[in-house]
């Protein structure tokens, strides 16, 4: 190595600094260290290193703030900064990029990746410092001179880095190859100069559309662009991204007094299902793009037929979901909750179903998550609340003993200020149902998302509801955080043991121990317990022995329609269930 590169390693943890020192010991670098933000700024100004490995999470001045200070210093504004973090989420990466970071690496380090990344960065930086011409060569090697977008070389490097990260974090990666339709006609009829301006306009539109999403946009050659990003929800994100790209591109544009509409065809490949290798993902996306052109252009196609089918099914589902309330296609089923001491039904859980005229009865497992993502769960949730309250009151007016109805509440319903409180009040007022006969079921994650001292907080809302007489239950208890602190802090009346612990309760000692502990803890906190998913007499006997108050499950009844529930109430009034 003709010149030793100096690397400044900034991390407050001694073990982390030592780990990097060991991994890079044989590479021939001059390694310097700083253990906090202040020391990092001082040493950077003194040494002018070739590269800084900067930890994000440090006490006092964190990595983001250090990065901002460095970029504000003219002598250090060009210092390559690789932020090191255990936070592998897009928001953290975006925040780092905004602060001025050049790249990201995740802890724990992969030796080969660390060495390769540092070799690349220090080599490029060394070239940059030699002469301006070398800097231009590096730029030319990685960026398209016409649009300023990354070229194939840089795209492949970023794609390989993204694939490595996706492998570690079990995410998926989408590669969208985009080719303009009939672009040759623009070049031939209007001139290559106009064609170049069209390409620059398209590049600007693509960049602006995805500027805040942590997405890479590149130009490969001619009129072909690539959009690449990682995601936890490939079908949703790609099915939303592709139409947005097509709509954005097809907006009318005026170039040199020529008004025109340009369309594009998009081919999509997905890691890891279509390939685990960067160049093959690009090739497969290009193949899918050719299919999109053959299908009529101005559309998109996945590389695999299966993904095309999944995307189409989701699109159809979304379109149909938007009409469920207007078309009156929703209905409620009810599952009875049985008091073990008396064998009588003391309540029921209201469960939404979608009765589609063509699809039949659609499982909530299929449509509720999509409704959550689309924001439709808010009006659907309001319909469920109102319908459940009204039906419960109708049963009371028919002469049945008063029962409590439980309604699941989504975290999304807590977001608009006071919306949920007003919805519940209106549902109770309009139905004339006494609040003591309504129970809200919410998950542990809703409570854990609460921020202290937040105006219109979940704590305040639940406190007011409980003061009205509404009961509060924690659904699926034991599958999330199961923290005593929030059980003590929040106004909670009931814990519902998740069915996963009930399933093998009579054969699995761990499940039996967990269920026993939950029941004992609830009783010590003066909370009632509902066991979900009870299907056998052995499970029922175990829960009776542990003094669980209430059970629900197929042993007594599946979720049933209003008509069937009415018949069941008539029968139980004469003969207890257990």
- Cα 143 from Cα 154, distance rounded (Å): 7
CA-based torsion, 542, 545, 549, 555: positive or negative: positive
Q: What pLDDT is recorded for position 91?
A: 76
- Cα 287 from Cα 175, distance rounded (Å): 12
C-alpha 544, offset from chain centre: 40
Return phi, psi of residue 295, to 5°.
-80, 0
> Angle 152-169/111-130 helices, nearest 10 degrees?
150
What ranges do the domains of the chain cover? 6-142, 169-317, 346-353+379-572
Of residues 193 and 4, more confidence is placed in: 193
- What percentage of the chain exceeds 90 in pLDDT? 53
CATH architecture of 6-142: 3-Layer(aba) Sandwich (3.40)
Q: What is the 3-state secondary structure (H, E, C) of 63-100?
A: HHHHHHHHHHCCCCCCCCEEEEECCCCHHHHHHHHHHC
* Per-residue pLDDT band at 1 (split at 50, 70, 90): very low
CATH T-level fold of 169-317 = Alpha-Beta Plaits (3.30.70)
Query: Quick check: pTM over 0.85?
Result: no
Residue 519 DSSP SS3: helix
Tell me how crowded residue 235 is: count the other CB atoms within 10 A of its CB.
19
Q: What pLDDT is recorded for position 157?
A: 92
- Cα 369 from Cα 392, distance rounded (Å): 26
Return phi, psi of residue 207, to 5°.
-65, -45
pLDDT tens-digit map of 243-293: 999 999 999 999 998 889 999 999 999 999 888 999 999 999 998 898 888
C-alpha 43, offset from chain centre: 39
pLDDT tens-digit map of 310-363: 777 777 888 888 889 989 999 999 999 999 988 899 999 999 999 988 888 888
Q: Which two tokens stand for residue 396?
A: 């009371």
* Per-residue pLDDT band at 96 (split at 50, 70, 90): confident
Give the range among 205-209, 211-215, 463-467 with minimum mean pLDDT.
211-215
Q: What pLDDT is recorded for position 455?
A: 45
Q: What pLDDT is recorded for position 205?
A: 95
Q: Residue 80: which of 54, 111, 106, 114 has the closest Cα?
A: 54
- Cα 185 from Cα 261, distance rounded (Å): 12
Q: Which two tokens stand for residue 576?
A: 């207890």
Q: Residue 7: which of 15, 25, 318 has the closest Cα?
A: 25
Residue 262 DSSP SS3: coil
Residue 245 gets the label, from left (phi > 0), alpha (psi -120 to 50) or beta, of: alpha
Whether the domain at 6-142 and the domain at 346-353+379-572 fall into the same CATH topology: no
pLDDT, mean over the chain = 88
CATH architecture of 346-353+379-572: Alpha-Beta Barrel (3.20)
Q: Which two tokens stand for residue 92?
A: 């953290």
What letters, b where the CB count within 10 A reaches 16 and e where it falls short, cover 50-59?
bbbbbbbbbe
Strand pairing class (528-531; 550-551): parallel
- Cα 250 from Cα 242, distance rounded (Å): 12
Enclosing H/E stretch for 259: strand 258-260
């Amino acid at each position: 190595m003709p010149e030793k590169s100096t690397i400044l390693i900034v991390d407050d943890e001694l073990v982390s600094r030592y780990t990097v020192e060991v991994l890079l010991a044989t590479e021939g670098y001059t390694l310097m260290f700083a253990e906090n933000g202040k020391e990092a700024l001082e040493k950077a100004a003194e040494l002018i290193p070739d590269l800084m490995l900067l930890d994000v999470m440090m006490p006092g001045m964190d990595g983001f703030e250090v990065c901002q200070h460095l970029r504000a210093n003219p002598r250090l504004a060009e210092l390559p900064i690789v932020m090191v973090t255990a936070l592998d989420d897009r928001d953290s990466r975006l925040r780092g990029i905004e602060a001025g970071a050049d790249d990201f690496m995740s802890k724990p380090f992969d030796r080969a990746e660390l060495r390769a990344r540092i070799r690349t960065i220090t080599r490029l930086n060394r070239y940059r410092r030699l002469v301006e011409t070398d800097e231009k060569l590096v730029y030319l090697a990685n960026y398209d001179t016409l649009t300023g977008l990354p070229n194939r070389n840089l795209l492949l490097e970023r794609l390989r880095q993204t694939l490595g990260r996706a492998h570690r974090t079990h995410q998926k990666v989408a590669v969208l190859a985009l080719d303009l339709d009939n672009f040759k006609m623009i070049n031939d009829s209007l001139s290559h100069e106009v064609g170049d301006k069209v390409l620059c306009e398209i590049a600007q539109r693509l960049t602006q559309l995805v500027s805040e999403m942590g997405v890479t946009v590149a130009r490969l050659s001619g009129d072909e662009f690539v959009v690449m990003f990682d995601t936890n929800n490939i079908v949703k994100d790609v099915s939303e991204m592709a139409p947005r790209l097509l709509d954005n591109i097809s907006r009318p544009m005026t170039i040199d007094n020529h008004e025109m509409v340009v369309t594009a065809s998009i081919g999509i490949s997905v890691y890891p299902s279509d390939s685990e290798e960067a160049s093959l993902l690009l090739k497969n996306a290009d193949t899918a793009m050719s299919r999109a052109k053959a299908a009529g252009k101005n559309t998109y196609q996945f590389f695999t037929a299966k993904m095309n089918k999944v995307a189409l099914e989701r699109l159809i589902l979304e379109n149909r979901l938007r009409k469920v309330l207007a078309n009156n296609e929703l209905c409620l089923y009810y599952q009875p909750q049985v008091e073990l001491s008396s064998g009588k039904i003391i309540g029921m859980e209201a469960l939404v179903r979608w009765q589609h005229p063509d699809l039949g009865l659609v499982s909530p497992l299929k449509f509720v998550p999509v409704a959550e993502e689309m924001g439709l769960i808010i009006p659907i949730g309001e319909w469920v609340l109102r319908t459940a309250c009204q039906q419960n009151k109708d049963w009371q007016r028919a002469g049945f003993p008063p029962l409590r109805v439980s309604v699941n509440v989504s975290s999304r319903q807590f977001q608009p200020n006071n919306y949920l409180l007003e919805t519940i009040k209106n549902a109770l007022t309009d139905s004339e149902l006494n609040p003591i006969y309504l129970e809200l079921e919410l998950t542990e994650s809703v409570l854990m998302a609460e921020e202290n001292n937040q105006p219109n907080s979940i704590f305040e809302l639940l406190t007011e509801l409980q003061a009205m007489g509404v009961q509060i239950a924690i659904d699926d208890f034991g599958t999330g955080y199961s923290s005593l602190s929030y059980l003590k802090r929040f106004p909670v009346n009931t814990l519902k043991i998740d069915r996963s612990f009930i399933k093998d309760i009579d054969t699995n000692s761990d499940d039996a121990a967990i269920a026993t502990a939950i029941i004992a803890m609830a009783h010590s906190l003066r909370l009632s317990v509902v066991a979900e998913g009870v299907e056998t007499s052995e499970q029922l006997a175990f829960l009776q022995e542990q003094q669980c108050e209430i059970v629900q499950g197929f042993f007594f009844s599946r979720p049933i329609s209003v008509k069937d529930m009415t018949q069941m109430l008539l029968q139980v009034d004469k003969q207890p269930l257990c």
